[in-house]
Structure 1
Amino acid sequence: MNLRTDQIKPHFERQGPQALYIVSGEEPLLMQEACDAIRASARASGYLEREVYASDAHISWPAIFEAANSLSLFGERKLIELRLDKVKFDDSAKKILSSYLERPNPDTLLLMILPKLEKAFSTTKWFQSIEQKAIVIQVWPLETKDLPRWIDTRIRQAGMQASREAIALLAERVEGNLLAAAQEIEKLRLLNGAGHLDAAAIESTVSDHARYNLFDLVDQSLEGNAETALKMLHFCRASGEEPLILLWAFVKELRALYAMLEQQQRGTPPAKLLQDFRIWNKRKPTIEKALNKQSLLRVETALSISSQIDRAAKGQAAGNAWQGLTALIMVLAGHPLTSPEIPG
């Protein structure tokens, strides 16, 4: 069964919790809020204990299956959260998950968080059999034309109103980064309180420096300009930028680059890749250089580091997010591959 994000709470209220919830997508804020809605509804349904398993080379599906079927230490229902960096399941994982869903533990709710589900995966017989017994929430990125309406709704939810010009200016400044938009709206609420926002308020409060450096930082890293990229990283940190916003830009580009490299290995010409992935003209030289310079292994390592940065920034794992971003830049700039563990 498929749900939209705004249907999660009504679903719990009408049908009660199900055995497995799958949330997939690439937009960090919408993904986070969808998962938060599931967690909140699960708590309201009595699932008070929570266990988190993050995807890495040592993830044990038998251990997850055992945890799902075991009683809670405190006799409470529990939520088991699986965060997977890749939409890949080996034969053991497929067998275990299929077997569990035949007779799920009613005192356990599974929440599986995945990147975007590609058609080649979502149309497999195995996933379609899982989908029949699960709730699937696919989080789609906002279209550019929908961003102003999303911003307007968010501003109203924060107890403010904004002019059409103010909304258009904020949409231009954040350039599709919903996490940045949400943070700027919260900053506006704290600084201006409830009331009306005009373009002048946006102009004086919302800076576009971070936006410019955000995407230029990724390009400088991909082009191998480590020294320049690190200077930009230090500037972002000194400006009070959140590491998760920087990470959003890196992960977005890395996932696209990984897909392009896979297709290039199958013989797709670079010119067609640039066209298919809708690369802007001004960025084509950077991406062409990255396709020649980067390898699937290097991008996989970068994504693994990104996953650890994400957990460190959220306080869910050891390590320093800013040092992790430094390590990420060095890997993309061509420095020797080392352990993906980020320093503390």
Structure 2
Amino acid sequence: MPLRLEELAGSLKAQLAPIYFISGDETLLVQEACDAVVAAAQAQGYGERSVLYAEPGFKWHELRSEAASMSLFAERRIIDVRIPGNKVDREGSEVLREYADEPAPDTLLLLRSARLEGRQRSSAWFKALDGAGVVVQVWPIGIGALPRWLDARLRADELVLEPDALDYLAAQVEGNLLAAVQEIAKLKLLQLPQPITVEALTRVMEDAAHYDAFELIDAVLGGDLERVQRMLGVLRQEGVSLFAVLGALVAQLRRLRGGAGGRMPPQRQRLIGGFMRRLGSAAVIDRALAQCALIDAQGKGQLLGDAWLSLENLCLRLAGSRALPSLEAQLPVLHRS
């Protein structure tokens, strides 16, 4: 049975399912969800817990053996299977389907993994787990929902921030929920006067924002100029390869040029639709790809200039800024003599 993350706590107060499968890329949220399952099980008498790591080379028959073995210390037990990444091989698929068909008595099977791809969610083993137990897919908290999430966590610790301080905190910890929790713990220890102002907040915290190239592309598609500029600054400061960021942008532009997007979720289709309307013409993508080639040449030292700055200019132009010159206009002064 599929459940949203926010529904899990309520469901755990009722009769426990024999199987829980929790997946997602937000490590903190996945860990907290698994902790909630374990705590609920222990409260209902599941006194023993075995942990199996399904790393490459793992023999899934170990799960069979563990499930079949008698517990020496408790009548009820938890088998906690941790799957690094999200890969389940053929043997794993077979074992999980068999287990879902006939779960071990007095045993709660808890599985956790990274985010699953669409084809994995359509697999026989996933459908078997979904039919026999509870499946929770943990989705990232976007920038729009982050302030509300932070506010709830803060109020749970009896902390109140002024609205601008809450927005500042969200901007600082975006993409790094673990850092967010750490900052909240720090604020609780400091016992600052409440509501906490943005001035007080800036004095006690460090910038913990962490991004990747794909989040940057989403900001470009969404036309968020301030976020684009901030992300590029953080990516550069963290030592992320220029070519990795540029390559992700080129790949996205090529997909759009080829008309990709029919199988995307509705929210992403709206995002891309708004981006294409903002461009006004698919020919703009060709010009952007040409500029990407020039930025690549800059990054390799074949043209003069700061490749990161050129990438920032291009991203800002794609996001909607019209105040910046195109790279082609500067070509006469960029060629090495």
Structure 1: how far apart are the matches of 2:234 and 2:252? 29
Q: Which AA in structure 2 matches 1:70?
A: S
Q: Which AA in structure 2 matches 1:272?
A: R
Count of residue pairs brought into register by the alignment:
247
5 Å-filtered alignment, 1:131-142, equals 131-142=130-141
Displacement of 1:198 in angstroms is 1.2
Instruction: Tell me if the contact between 2:18 and 2:108 (Cα under 8 Å) persists in the aligned partners.
Output: yes
Q: Which residue of 2 aligns with 1:70?
A: 69
Instruction: Tell me if the contact between 1:69 and 1:108 (Cα under 8 Å) persists in the aligned partners.
Output: no
Larger Rg: 2
Structure 1: how far apart are the matches of 2:129 and 2:207? 44
Structure 1: how far apart are the matches of 2:203 and 2:164? 14
Structure 2: how far apart are the matches of 1:90 and 1:141? 26
5 Å-filtered alignment, 1:1-344, equals 1-15=1-15, 17-192=16-191, 195-208=194-207, 215-216=235-236, 220=239, 222=241, 271-272=254-255
TM-score scaled by length of structure 2: 0.63
Q: Deviations over 1:6-59 (max 9, x none)?
A: 3223223222x2221000111111111111111111111111211111232231
Instruction: Tell me if the contact between 1:160 and 1:194 (Cα under 8 Å) persists in the aligned partners.
Output: no
**SS in structure 1 at match of 2:2:** coil
**SS in structure 2 at match of 1:83:** strand
Moved more, 83-92 or 134-143: 83-92
Instruction: Tell me if the contact between 1:19 and 1:109 (Cα under 8 Å) persists in the aligned partners.
Output: yes
Structure 2: how far apart are the matches of 1:73 and 1:176? 44
Percent identical: 34
Instruction: Tell me if the contact between 2:175 and 2:209 (Cα under 8 Å) persists in the aligned partners.
Output: no
Structure 2: how far apart are the matches of 1:91 and 1:135? 22
Instruction: Tell me if the contact between 2:64 and 2:95 (Cα under 8 Å) persists in the aligned partners.
Output: yes
Q: What is the CA RMSD across the aligned residues, in angstroms?
A: 3.6
Structure 2: how far apart are the matches of 1:209 and 1:156? 21
Unaligned runs of 5+ in 1: 225-252, 279-283, 290-344
TM-score scaled by length of structure 1: 0.62
Unaligned runs of 5+ in 2: 211-230, 262-267, 272-290, 297-337
Q: Which residue of 1 aligns with 2:303?
A: none
Q: Which AA in structure 1 matches 2:27?
A: P
Structure 2: how far apart are the matches of 1:70 and 1:209? 46
How has the CA–CA distance of structure 1 residues 105 and 129 changed in structure 2, closer, same or farther, with 3 Å as cutoff? closer
Displacement of 1:269 in angstroms is 8.1
Structure 2: how far apart are the matches of 1:152 and 1:205? 18
